[in-house]
Amino acid sequence: MGARQEAVLNRDELLLARRLGDYAAHAPVAAMLSGLSAMIACAIAPSELMAMWHALCGIWLLAIGAVSTLRVLHAGRIEPDTIDFGYIRRQARKAEALAYADAALWALGLSFIASMLDPSTRVTVNILITGMLATAAIRLRSMPRIGIALTLAFVAGGTASTALRGDPVDFVNVPIMLFYATVVLYCFRADAAAYEARFNAEFAVSESAETIRLLLHDYEAQSADWLWRVDHSGCLVGVCDRFGEAASMPRPELEGKELVSLFRHGPAREHLSHRLLRREPFRDLTLELATRDDDPLGGRWWMLSASPREDGTIRGVARDVTATRRTEQRVAYMAHHDGLTGLANRFLFGETLAGQLARQRKGDSCALLYLDLDHFKTINDTLGHSCGDLLLTEAARRITSKVKGHDLVARLGGDEFAVLLTRFRDAEEALAVADRIVGAITDPFRIEGQKLHISTSVGVAFYKGQGGNSDDLLRQADLALYAAKARGRACFAQFEPWMEDRERERAALEADLRNAIKQGQFALHFQPLVNIDTGEVAGFEALVRWEHPTMGVVMPGEFIPIAEDTGLIVPLGEWIMRNAIAQAAGWPGGQRVAINLSPIQMRSPRLMSQLVTAIAHTGIDPARIELEITENVLMQESEANVALLHKLRELGVRISLDDFGTGYSSLNYLRSFPFDKIKIDKCFVADLEKREDCQAIIRAVTSLAGTLGMDTVAEGVEREEQLDWLRAAGCTEVQGYYISYPFNVEELSDGRPFDSECERWRASIRRLPSAA
């Protein structure tokens, strides 16, 4: 049954079409049999019969021949697969009409031929008829009416010839003939019923098959999946429309194409090819289509499942999983990359580095550059995060532009970057890259119309198969970075083993520091601040010392950063404040005490109460307390800190700006808070005589401070010439080794009275020619 015919014709019409088709297949043989039988029947007729009989015989034979020829021609022209039911009905009628004509000719022929024959030839005719009936029963089962007509024609012919001959012996044959004819007719009917039943069964099957086909079609059209089939050599056959659409290829082009050739080379394609070759089923195999897609996220992806069939083909389903795949890729990308700069993130960098070290062969080397932007936090805090983000993005671009394509650049977080160099001739070449990056970041940045200056420090560590893992290498680079920062930033430093020793010492110090406060290992030294004109000791700066049980005196430059990193600066700072105020309360001259405040202490909510308690305990005049803060305090969380400074000021204490000129954009900070005093950093004082830029800065600061009503202190005065120059510049106070080293008041008091020392310091100023 053709699919189109089934869709158009109903069951009865289809049955007739089937009958006609079967008839057309067998009718030529039946017609030829009829003609042949007619010739035999005529041939066995006795020759002594009269000429008239022979003429009749000839006519009959011609008529049978003509009808048979028409039947053969007609059967040959029948097209049973048409959906034109009118045609089918017409052809069926024509076929029946021709068959009836044939049957009628036989009935007529038998009645007169058989009546003329002698008994011996009559047997031959009977055999002929039996044979024709038997073949008709088999050949014409599709058209039972024709079979029945033929049977009835033979019965009629037989009965007529018996009657015509009038031989009583023959009359016995009539009931026998009638009996078998009845049996034959019954067989025709039964056979016809079976034929119809078989057709009905087939029809039912094909109808459900059609339903399934329609459902599948629907499934293909609606779902994201489509079906495919390949032959024994793995080439596509029966490609459906959806497949063509999905593959963006015309269907004829796909037909006969190797399925694997649609996909990109790789393990998945190998897998597919292997499975098809071995005719093994597989599920959910994801493959990338071999498209000419320049999308950086990759092309298109299909997921295939299939199982082999008994007919030698392999059938399967395919689904476009591009969207899922892209999402997966994006998620993976996001998990491995920094969202802001698009660089590799810490995770990917760590993995790559570990992989690189594991693959490292003898003689290979790689270099790790660890970068940290200097004072980036200030930019973020003062200019806002969006500006900070733009700066980071531009910094990332500049770093990337200074390395080769195969080098990995990563943002490890915040303002930290890392570069992994794997192919370089020698250490010099790798260090040159570090130098180029430092240079690239030093160039001014143009962000949102502003010109910004920033720099980077870089730590470099090499791996030459010395053992250790990626964490060790990262730590070494970090130590080198620390060294670069210590060297004044905007430079690079290469890791050296002593850095590790120092780090170990630092770790040991950190451990010891935790107990040092409890065990009373700290002492305060004081350094006088002297009025530059009168020589009066205006006050003393408290400088902490750690009297380490085994290492001796440890200077604050070494342990204060550790105390700040660990938060220990808060209890230590409290101890310093309590002690400094307590000691100052006992000074006979009523001089001021300057106490250094770390930015970390400023964050402590206990700071205010500690100060209030210390003042209350000693009864000291708050105006004698000077708190020294650095520019960092204003750079970080500036608003909260400025508010805190105002509150401290309300207590009556004085606030000094320490290390002025070393911070980020100094003069701005003078406007953010009305300081009582500015301490010019010793770095400007050190080369004062030789460097005009230092002189210019000091002059600017003193004159600005004068206008704003602030005192100025020059730190680190070590020589007479410096003092001279500073006095001329209008500086109010000086502090430095020239006047006095920091000293322990308790030790001093043992031998010499505190007052007489102050007199000595005053004298040291008075002795100067200009003051005389």
Which residues contact Ca ion by CB under 5 A?
596, 628, 658-659, 715
- Look at residue 556 and give the partner it binds from ligand C2E, Ca ion, none, a contact being a CB closer than 5 to 8 Å depending on partner kind: ligand C2E
> For residue 102, what are the contacts with CB-CB under 8 A and spacing of at least 6?
31, 34, 64, 67, 68, 71, 150
Out of 95, 509, 529, 542, the only residue in the binding site for ligand C2E (CB under 6 A) is 542
Which amino acid does the sequence have at 73? L
Cβ distance to Ca ion smaller for residue 627 or 729: 627
Instruction: Answer yes or no whether residue 308 interacts with ligand C2E by CB under 6 A.
Output: no
Instruction: Answer yes or no whether residue 611 interacts with ligand C2E by CB under 6 A.
Output: no
Closest CA to 716 of 632, 639, 650, 660: 660
CB 648 within 8 A of CB 611: yes
Cβ distance to ligand C2E smaller for residue 407 or 715: 715
* Token pair listed for 350: 């760590």
Q: Which stretch binds ligand C2E (CB under 6 A): 254-262, 412-420, 498-506, 710-718?
A: 710-718
Residue nearest to ligand C2E (CB): 736
User: Rounded distance, CA 61 to CA 52, Å?
Assistant: 14
3-state secondary structure 305-328: EEEECCCCCEEEEEEECHHHHHHH
- Look at residue 716 and give the partner it binds from ligand C2E, Ca ion, none, a contact being a CB closer than 5 to 8 Å depending on partner kind: ligand C2E
**Scanning the structure block, which residue is given the tokens 């790790």?**
368
Q: Which stretch binds ligand C2E (CB under 6 A): 161-169, 189-197, 509-517, 711-719?
A: 711-719
Give the length of the chain: 772
Instruction: Answer yes or no whether residue 82 interacts with ligand C2E by CB under 6 A.
Output: no
Out of 472, 718, 720, 724, the only residue in the binding site for ligand C2E (CB under 6 A) is 718
Out of 598, 702, 712, 722, the only residue in the binding site for ligand C2E (CB under 6 A) is 598
Instruction: Answer yes or no whether residue 561 interacts with ligand C2E by CB under 6 A.
Output: no
Out of 742, 743, 744, 771, the only residue in the binding site for ligand C2E (CB under 6 A) is 742
Instruction: Answer yes or no whether residue 626 interacts with ligand C2E by CB under 6 A.
Output: no
Instruction: Answer yes or no whether residue 659 interacts with ligand C2E by CB under 6 A.
Output: yes
- Look at residue 737 and give the partner it binds from Ca ion, ligand C2E, none, a contact being a CB closer than 5 to 8 Å depending on partner kind: ligand C2E
Number of H helices, E strands in the chain: 29, 20
Cβ distance to ligand C2E smaller for residue 31 or 560: 560
Which amino acid does the sequence have at 82? T
Q: Which stretch binds ligand C2E (CB under 6 A): 61-69, 278-286, 425-433, 714-722?
A: 714-722
Instruction: Answer yes or no whether residue 577 interacts with ligand C2E by CB under 6 A.
Output: no
Alpha helices in 319-455 (DSSP H): 322-336, 346-359, 376-383, 385-401, 427-442
Instruction: Answer yes or no whether residue 736 interacts with ligand C2E by CB under 6 A.
Output: yes
CB 344 within 8 A of CB 410: yes
Q: Which stretch binds ligand C2E (CB under 6 A): 137-145, 309-317, 542-550, 665-673?
A: 542-550
Collect contacts of 283-291 with beta carbons under 8 A, ≥24 apart. 286/321, 286/325, 287/263, 288/263, 288/264, 289/247, 289/262, 289/263, 289/264, 290/261, 290/262, 290/263, 290/264, 290/265, 291/248
> For residue 41, what are the contacts with CB-CB under 8 A and spacing of at least 6?
109, 113, 125, 128
CB of 377 to ligand C2E, least distance (A): 19
Q: Which stretch binds ligand C2E (CB under 6 A): 7-15, 371-379, 502-510, 736-744?
A: 736-744
Instruction: Answer yes or no whether residue 596 interacts with ligand C2E by CB under 6 A.
Output: yes
- State the pairing for strand pair 450-452/455-463: unpaired
CB of 684 to ligand C2E, least distance (A): 12
Q: Is 312 left (phi over 0), alpha (psi -120 to 50) or beta?
A: left
User: Rounded distance, CA 542 to CA 547, Å?
Assistant: 16
User: Rounded distance, CA 437 to CA 401, Å?
Assistant: 9
Instruction: Answer yes or no whether residue 737 interacts with ligand C2E by CB under 6 A.
Output: yes
CB of 526 to Ca ion, least distance (A): 12
User: Rounded distance, CA 172 to CA 167, Å?
Assistant: 10
Size of the site for ligand C2E (CB under 6 A): 23
Cβ distance to ligand C2E smaller for residue 500 or 510: 510
CB of 394 to ligand C2E, least distance (A): 33
Out of 34, 115, 476, 527, the only residue in the binding site for ligand C2E (CB under 6 A) is 527
Instruction: List residues near ligand C2E by CB under 6 A.
Output: 527, 542-544, 555-557, 560, 573, 576, 596, 598, 658-659, 682, 715-718, 735-737, 742
